[in-house]
Chain A
Amino acid sequence: DAKTTQPPSMDCAEGRAANLPCNHSTISGNEYVYWYRQIHSQGPQYIIHGLKNNETNEMASLIITEDRKSSTLILPHATLRDTAVYYCIVRRNSGGYQKVTFGTGTKLQVIP
């Protein structure tokens, strides 16, 4: 019952920008979009999150459409170390327990 859908896999040439899409058409007004990545056999790592404005940090940029029904994670200059599974989830930033389901994510393969 994941609230997000992502393509199962993508390839990206090393040095190029990697654009990973995520659909979250049922997102509520108070839910944020979070992105994580999981490198093989490690715990998922937080990348970035946003509500409606575009966000940028040292790792990536997050572009959220005006209707908030989809978003794109951008890795501006992909390296081989960016090869990982990328998860997009939606959740509120406050309040008590929330059931958050991680889908199968997008497996990004950065090619030399």
Chain B
Amino acid sequence: SQTIHQWPATLVQPVGSPLSLECTVEGTSNPNLYWYRQAAGRGLQLLFYSVGIGQISSEVPQNLSASRPQDRQFILSSKKLLLSDSGFYLCAWRDSGGGYTFGSGTRLTVV
């Protein structure tokens, strides 16, 4: 069966520090992968998507970047975090039926 892993679950980082959030998928190959961010009281905002290794598309200009070094690995990064980067970050995988499976999320607090 297909599963999606995301870590860490929570993270507190100082302003200006780097960020690396990792997402891995098991049980499928060549998945479409997505990073979403959810600010408090708001919907899910699509940040990046990837249809294959090394292929990244950004939906919203921001202080973040994404990479896909392996087929089932998707990484969200920042060189210098801002206070506005705080939020709940979700990795998702789109299955062959068109539905999304989400990871458990990372709650990032930038202080």
Contact = CB atoms under 8 A, between A and B. Distances in A.
B98 to A, nearest CB: 4
B46 A43 contact: no
Contacts of B61: none
Interface residues on A, range: 20 to 34
B44 interface: yes
Contacts of A43: 6, 90, 92, 102-105
B101 interface: yes
Interface SS, A side: loop
A112 to B, nearest CB: 25
Interface in B17-53: 32, 36, 41-44, 46, 49, 51
Interface residues on B, range: 20 to 34
B46 A42 contact: no
Interface string A90-112: 01111011011111110000000
A66 to B, nearest CB: 22
Nearest to B6: A43
Interface centre among A2, A99, A100, A105 (most CB of B within 10 A): A100
A87 B46 CA distance: 15
A68 interface: no
A73 B54 CA distance: 38
A87 B102 CA distance: 13
B43 A34 contact: no
Nearest to A31: B98
Interface string B50-85: 010000010100000000000000000000000000
Q: Which 7 interchain pairs have the tightest Cβ spacing? A: A43-B102, A93-B98, A102-B44, A104-B43, A102-B43, A44-B102, A103-B43
